[in-house]
Structure 1
């Protein structure tokens, strides 16, 4: 087996030419402020700017540097086995609206690429959800029928382009894949040309709802705006506890060059083996980049991510022996407890605060669709499917109550159990046993402490209590990060925020006192 690649940067991040923007300074005014510059935020900002609004985008880090920069870049309305679920839990109309809205988002990307002449490696490919085990066939036949009833050109097949046999698959033609950051680079160029303003390195810390809304940032700058869109993956300023309706999961991704004749010529996914997703992308030399995703896990549970990467590489090299892995990264997604994303006016936020979240790993079409949907509401011309995704929906929330309660039980269990296990006086003695690259949570006099030993033997110590709602973090040994099991916040070994909803870093501790 080839040694697993050390690169922690996604292929998209390493090959994108994204512009840089300064932090916001002073006081600013706008018609609309979009918080978050992933595909959902930038798509929304672009749509609003095209509608004639003066728009400011505020991003805590780099544009497209979060979930969007670590996606697999699929544009498809076939989302694993969603249509059978929608049909059963929400009805035939919901399944049709879902298919219509996701398909419309795909078409919209194709139109924008042509209109703006964006070079983003856009390719039309079929999308397939497959199974290798015979016991999965009946469910896929049901999914194919549900997808057809929803309006997709779906069929059940037993032959695919994969280099191994499958028991069955749902196939939908004429879907697409692209370089997501190259696409957003073109969108950003047009957004700025139209007068939109983007500020990186600007974390929004406060939101005062009103007319206008007022936002405070960690740079000391302030903004007032008539409309505010929260597109931060996990919703900030969540006074109605939308987070209670979201669950987090993280997927590992590996990639490497593959000879063009070995291209399976499609976008494939299965829920077997802890998920396997396969696609390729064009390389400048005429070859293909194989991208394999899988080994899904809940962040913050202490999962052995190095072992997950090894399993993913073993599987890839078994089925694609000509591949040499050159990149690895990870993507984090959240899913709503009733399957549907949360897009629209934020409950209790007034008529001018909007949210876009819960894309369940399908944020490329979901994010684009969110942009068109929110802009349409702002214009007073809502899309036909607006109510399907409304965060204030009640019927589907009631039907999903068992799933919601299970998610909250898991969160509560971590909050109580982890704190009981780690709080106390003194240390548990494991710091001395840490090898380079390892991390652990130990007991200390002032609460649980997260300790990491770097490759040179130095110790890094921070509070293990997440600054969001107080759950205890756990170590990710492949990415060398601290992750919260309750709501997915992620921190570096020195406590810096890598991913929200936390707004403050973990407090640093003195390792010499442990």
Structure 2
């Protein structure tokens, strides 16, 4: 099973369910980095805020990151120059640097200990030249340089070096920030799932703990629940794997690294008692694409062992995120007909800066402060050159999964032969069924139809969850919702 270091090394605070006001100024749904940052900033601005989280604070996507804070998001600046302009590339770079600077300033002001430190970031390639991306980063206004040596224990062909970037312990940072939200009419509800939204004046958010009325609602749930902006057609779920090994302090690489050609991510973080934690990411893939997750974890661990001489990982976890067709997040109005419902999503595995930026931008949008980046991240934008081909490809993938998985389920309609630890999507009569046999031999069955839009779930043998390959919803073996956009559990099926 996956164990995130960020979660296992912190204690989850308990936030009660009441008695809390049923009317506030803003409801923020989702307590990851975007939701907590937004709620904190609005509370500081004098708004009464209710932060609602189905699980624990910063324990979802944010709790499963590699936790780099950088303006260098892969080879993005070459893409922005070709798809947009130098002005857009420069605005993107400035906004990311603004988010990073805010984290440093606010952590110093609040005295939050979260292992925040400056690091050099490298985008490198083992088998190709990155001189064009280096030039694009400079055009975007970054202090980037083209180099061929990065300090890794294996050869690289080239790299783009960007100094004065950062890393931290994301959950320590966010738990510290969250402490400043409750009080003066604001509160946090954990273990409370938002199940409905009625837009109006005020908006009404239905939750498992009752209704909350608010002038504004922010949907910061990774994949937007209550999808009225057709985000299901404009976002593609992707996941990366992470393995981490305890090593002697100072023996690992000193910078932060991302391989443009292989997708491997490398960095270290303090682990205490003279030890560091070597964090290796990689094996990026669409949900249920290619090799099983467990095999991908084995391959990533083997890569880390070959390149850095480490043994079996001490931790491993899975990083989930969503990509947009033009690589820019969606931060702003939820749909064209609203001025009071807002969304933040599509961070493409760069949520530490993009999620912080979302909080800064949403604060300004809600409080009426002019923000120079409002149009850059507007969810209603459409770049035809960049977006349409990727939208067509992404939705063709969803359609293929929707049809193909139903056919496959019919072809595998027997569960009696499942061995302990095995799972299968099958059918019983006309109904698709997700079946899993536990290690003690007990058979567990739930409906295989995702409660979001009806795609069939697939078994994730790394986390032992049922994951939707179309839009990224995740469910426990008992059908409970672990991650949206689904808000309703899979129906349990009685086993004779």
Structure 2: how far apart are the matches of 1:481 and 1:157?
42
- Asked whether the 8 Å contact 2:12–2:56 carries over to 1, the reply is no
Q: Paired residue for 1:328? A: 316
Structure 2: how far apart are the matches of 1:408 and 1:374?
29
Structure 1: how far apart are the matches of 2:216 and 2:83?
33
- Asked whether the 8 Å contact 2:331–2:362 carries over to 1, the reply is yes
- The Cα of 1:459 is off from its aligned counterpart by 0.8
- Asked whether the 8 Å contact 2:301–2:312 carries over to 1, the reply is no
Structure 1 residues 195 and 171, CA gap change in structure 2 (3 angstroms): farther
- The Cα of 1:38 is off from its aligned counterpart by 0.2
Q: Paired residue for 1:505? A: 489
Structure 2: how far apart are the matches of 1:67 and 1:14?
15
- The Cα of 1:261 is off from its aligned counterpart by 3.5
Structure 2: how far apart are the matches of 1:468 and 1:489?
8
Secondary structure of the residue that 1:385 maps to in structure 2?
Answer: coil
Structure 1 residues 39 and 400, CA gap change in structure 2 (3 angstroms): same
- The Cα of 1:63 is off from its aligned counterpart by 1.1
Gaps of 5+ in 1: 1-5
Over residues 228-261 of structure 1, what are the superposed CA-to-partner deviations in whole Å (9 max), with x where a residue is unaligned? 1000000112223022110010111111111223
State the TM-score, normalized to the length of structure 2. Answer: 0.97
- The Cα of 1:476 is off from its aligned counterpart by 1.0
Structure 2: how far apart are the matches of 1:382 and 1:349?
21
Q: Paired residue for 2:476? A: 492
Structure 1: how far apart are the matches of 2:251 and 2:225?
44
Give the aligned CA root-mean-square deviation in angstroms: 1.6
- Asked whether the 8 Å contact 2:326–2:387 carries over to 1, the reply is yes
- Asked whether the 8 Å contact 1:156–1:169 carries over to 2, the reply is yes
Of residues 187, 205, 225, the one that matches 2:214 is: 225
- The Cα of 1:341 is off from its aligned counterpart by 0.2
Structure 2: how far apart are the matches of 1:451 and 1:302?
21
For the pair 1:38 / 2:32, whether they are aligned, the reply is yes
Structure 1: how far apart are the matches of 2:358 and 2:405?
36
Secondary structure of the residue that 1:328 maps to in structure 2?
Answer: strand
Structure 1: how far apart are the matches of 2:270 and 2:228?
44
- Asked whether the 8 Å contact 2:122–2:160 carries over to 1, the reply is yes
Q: Paired residue for 2:64? A: 70
Structure 1: how far apart are the matches of 2:282 and 2:223?
22
Q: Paired residue for 2:331? A: 343
Structure 1 residues 468 and 97, CA gap change in structure 2 (3 angstroms): same
For the pair 1:389 / 2:366, whether they are aligned, the reply is no
Of residues 408, 418, 421, the one that matches 2:408 is: 421
Q: Paired residue for 1:20? A: 14
For the pair 1:259 / 2:233, whether they are aligned, the reply is no
Q: Paired residue for 1:234? A: 223
Structure 1 residues 126 and 193, CA gap change in structure 2 (3 angstroms): farther
Within 5 Å, which residues of 2 pair with 1:52-451?
A: 52-133=46-127, 136-137=128-129, 140-192=130-182, 196-219=186-209, 221-273=210-262, 275-301=263-289, 303-322=291-310, 325-394=313-382, 396-397=383-384, 399-423=386-410, 428-429=413-414, 431-451=415-435
Over residues 363-412 of structure 1, what are the superposed CA-to-partner deviations in whole Å (9 max), with x where a residue is unaligned? 00001000000101112113211100000113x25641000111011111
Structure 2: how far apart are the matches of 1:249 and 1:48?
31
Gaps of 5+ in 2: none
Structure 1: how far apart are the matches of 2:304 and 2:385?
41
Moved more, 191-200 or 281-290: 191-200
